């Protein structure tokens, strides 16, 4: 019990420390890309943030389906928490991608298929959060949000496959592809570490957000 309580009390600091380590190693210590130079280091923020966005919205979809089936409050809490975290990380992915695009394409934004569908995805889940804020009745809010969460996920696979389905400025996948990834193995190791740590941060943030939601509802019921 003591050990478990200590871990829960310090888990946030541990996650923050892990994020700091991968950011320092990625942005300062590992070698720069031979062709793009230092701007390529944004990959260690951009790609993990985009991955966490995908992961968060997948969990929103699964939790929404589960809520419509079981009407369990904890699934509604999980969906809400993941939507908030997903919007945060998708915004980080767009911002870092914009900086990267300015350095490589010469402009901050282009109505490229990947960028456009990602912007639509961000707006859809921002609308999901607004929907939740606009409905006072708890059960009605959860039910409508669950339907929205299922429908909004339709765009997520479109975002992922957009670089394969349409001509795009955005580069195609370099890791999830047949054969050897088109990236130096040291840089790949750093990228995998960054994705793992960002995923850990996602789990911690969602857990804390769900806990806060339970506390908020318990106070409201008093």
DSSP 75-121: HHHHHHHHHHHHHHHHHHHHHHHHHHHHHHHSSS----HHHHHHHHH
pLDDT of 128 reads 98
**3-class DSSP assignment, residue 33:** strand
The tens digit of pLDDT for each residue in 198-210 reads: 999 999 999 999 9
Question: CA-based Rg of the chain, rounded to a whole angstrom?
Answer: 19
pLDDT of 2 reads 46
The tens digit of pLDDT for each residue in 156-175 reads: 999 988 888 777 766 666 65
CB of 60 closer than 8 Å to CB of 79 = yes
- Domain boundary assignment for the chain: 40-221
Measure the CA–CA gap between 27 and 19, rounded to whole angstroms.
12
Give Cα 32 distance to the centre of its chain: 25
* CA angle in degrees (0–180, nearest 5) for 126-206-63: 70
Q: Average of pLDDT values for 106-123?
A: 91
pLDDT of 1 reads 40
Measure the CA–CA gap between 130 and 20, rounded to whole angstroms.
32
CA-closest candidate to residue 210, choices 82, 62, 64:
82
Query: Please, which pLDDT band fits residue 186 given cuts at 50, 70 and 90?
Result: confident
The tens digit of pLDDT for each residue in 17-39 reads: 999 999 999 988 888 877 788 88
């Amino acid at each position: 019990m003591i050990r478990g309580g200590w871990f829960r009390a310090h888990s946030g600091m541990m996650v923050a420390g892990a994020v700091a380590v991968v950011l320092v190693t990625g942005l300062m210590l590992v070698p720069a890309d031979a062709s793009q130079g230092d701007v390529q280091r944004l990959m260690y923020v951009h790609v993990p943030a985009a991955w966490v966005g995908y992961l968060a919205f997948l969990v929103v979809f699964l939790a929404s389906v589960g809520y419509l089936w079981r009407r369990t409050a904890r699934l509604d809490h999980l969906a809400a928490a993941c939507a908030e975290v997903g919007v945060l990380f998708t915004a980080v992915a767009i911002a870092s991608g914009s900086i990267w695009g300015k350095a490589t394409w010469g402009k901050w934004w282009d109505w490229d298929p990947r960028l456009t569908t990602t912007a639509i995805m961000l707006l859809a889940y921002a609308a999901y959060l607004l929907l939740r804020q606009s409905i006072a009745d708890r059960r009605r809010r959860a039910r409508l949000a669950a339907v929205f969460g299922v429908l909004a996920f339709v765009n997520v696979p479109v975002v992922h496959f957009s670089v394969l389905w349409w001509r795009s400025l955005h580069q195609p996948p370099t890791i999830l592809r047949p054969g050897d990834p088109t990236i130096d193995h040291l840089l790949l190791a750093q990228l995998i570490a960054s994705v793992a740590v960002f995923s850990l941060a996602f789990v911690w943030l969602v857990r804390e957000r769900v806990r806060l939601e339970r506390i908020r509802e318990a106070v409201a019921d008093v």
